[in-house]
Structure formats: structure tokens, C-alpha cells
Amino acid sequence: MTASDDFEIETDQLADAVTAFANGNPILAYDSADRENEVDIIYPAATVEPQDVTRLRNDAGGLICVALSDTVATALELPFARDTLDHPVAASEELKYDDRSAASITVNHRDTFTGITDQDRSVTINRLGALAADPTTEAFVEEFRSPGHVQLLRAAPNLLADRRGHTEFAIALTAKANRAPVAVVCEMLDDETGGALSPAAAKRYAASEELVYVDMSER
């Protein structure tokens, strides 16, 4: 199954999300009450600018990650994080929401300074998006260093057929929108409760910012 075949456009929400993504705009996506029960803001990686990282930091508040397709991740020889750690804490994964984590390594672009500023992270994200056009390990090593301040995520090979995460949804969305298979995902958190932002609150935010909101469980 290819990324472009991973979901059919069955709802107006999905159609609007594809259009927004094709135009380089972010969308909000809620997974389900049976999974993380979280809403992520998702951007096409190649369009992210410093002010977008600022929005993710202030309005979302979760970990700013870059999801890559399995094809790109394989070309870059990206491991899963659990396979790189020689420590007892990595001996087993016991997640409450899935069988495994999509987490890979963290990186900074070599042109950045500390790598944490909004400007630096936007450079790292943009260059990851550009690298997807011709992904090679040599180019990756030449441009990036690890550890860094941008968390990479490996999408499952068959995307939502394998794993129903924001990572896989984001990459499926890039395919439908004819975008490079690299996307930024960041969880939305609630400043008042300290927990995940509720779907209702996320919908209000989406409406106020004129962004598309998608319920992944309705696809």
C-alpha cells in the first residue's frame, strides 16, 4: 500500500485538510479517545518558518517533531530510538496508547548555533523537508548532527494500515497533497489543566485561527 492509497477522501474535513496542506498551511488532527486522545498541529515541513515554530511552542506546547516516511527514513538509515540505547530503560516498551513508539534520533542542522531557537529549528525542519527530494545517508550526515533539538519520527511502512498515529496520518496527508513526505507534528497542551488540550478546545482554537480540524477516527 502506498501513502497516496492510505486513505480515501470521505469527509469534507479530510478534503479541506488536503487542500490546506497543498497550500502549505497547517491543520489540526485528533486521533481518538482509544489512543493518545490528543490533538496535534501538523505542518508540511518545507513551509515552516520561524513564526510557525513560535506558534507550535506557544499555542501547542508539546514536543516539536518531524515525521518522515519509511522510504525516506530507510534511505537516511534512521534507527528507532529504542534500538540505539544500551540502557535497561530501553529493554522494553510498555506504552499505554500503542505497541511501539515512532521515535528515532534527534538532530540539528549544522548551520544552526544551539539549535533550540525558533530560527534554528525552522532551518533544521526546512532542510529535512528539502532532503526528502533526494535522501541519502551521505547528504544527511553532511547537513545534520545528532543529538539535537528536533525529534525525528519514523512512519510505519503501510502508514495507517500499520499504525494509527499522528505520524502516519501526517505522512499520508503529504502524499494526498503532493508534498514531500516530511511533516511537523506537535501535541496541543492545556495551560490550565496541565493535560492534553481537549478536542472541544482544539476545535475552538481551529475556528479562531481559521484552520482545518480533522477527527482521524472519522476517516
Q: Is the confidence at residue 93, as pLDDT, over 70?
A: no
What is the reported pTM? 0.91
Q: Pick the more confident residue, 158 or 96.
A: 158
Average pLDDT over residues 186-208: 98
Query: Is 143 in the active site?
Result: no
- 194 vs 32, residue with greater confidence: 194
Active site residue 40: yes
Helices (H) and strands (E) in the chain, counts: 7, 7
Q: How far apart are CA 67 and CA 9, in angstroms?
A: 21
Backbone angles phi, psi at 166, to 5 degrees: -60, -35
Tell me the per-residue pLDDT of 136-185, one tens digit each, with 9 for 90 and over.
Answer: 999 999 999 999 999 999 998 988 877 888 999 999 999 999 999 999 99
Active site residue 65: yes
> Are the C-beta atoms of 76 and 99 separated by less than 8 Å?
no
pLDDT score of 97: 64
Give, rounded to a whole angstrom, the gap between the first and last alpha carbons of the chain: 17
- 149 an active-site residue? yes
- Among the listed residues 5, 10, 97, 209, the single catalytic one is 97
Of the residues 38, 70, 108, 213, only one is catalytic, namely 108
Q: Is 108 designated active site?
A: yes
The phi, psi pair for 9, rounded to 5°, reads: -75, 105
If DSSP states are collapsed to H, E and C, what string results for 156-211? CCCHHHCCCCHHHHHHHHHHHCCCCCEEEEEEEECCCCCCECCHHHHHHHHHHHCC
How many residues does the structure list for the chain?
A: 219
Handedness of CA 123, 212, 154, 194 (dihedral sign): positive
Q: Are 27 and 209 in contact (CB under 8 A)?
A: no
Domain ranges in the chain are 3-218
Q: In which residue are the cell numbers 499505554 written?
A: 96
Angle of CA points 203, 122, 75, to nearest 5°: 100
Query: What CATH number labels 3-218?
Result: 3.90.870.10
Cβ-based neighbours of 8, under 8 Å, separated by 6 or more = none
For residue 5, give the 3-state DSSP assignment. Answer: helix
Can 162 be counted among the known catalytic residues? no
Nearest residue to 2 via CA among 129, 160, 131: 160
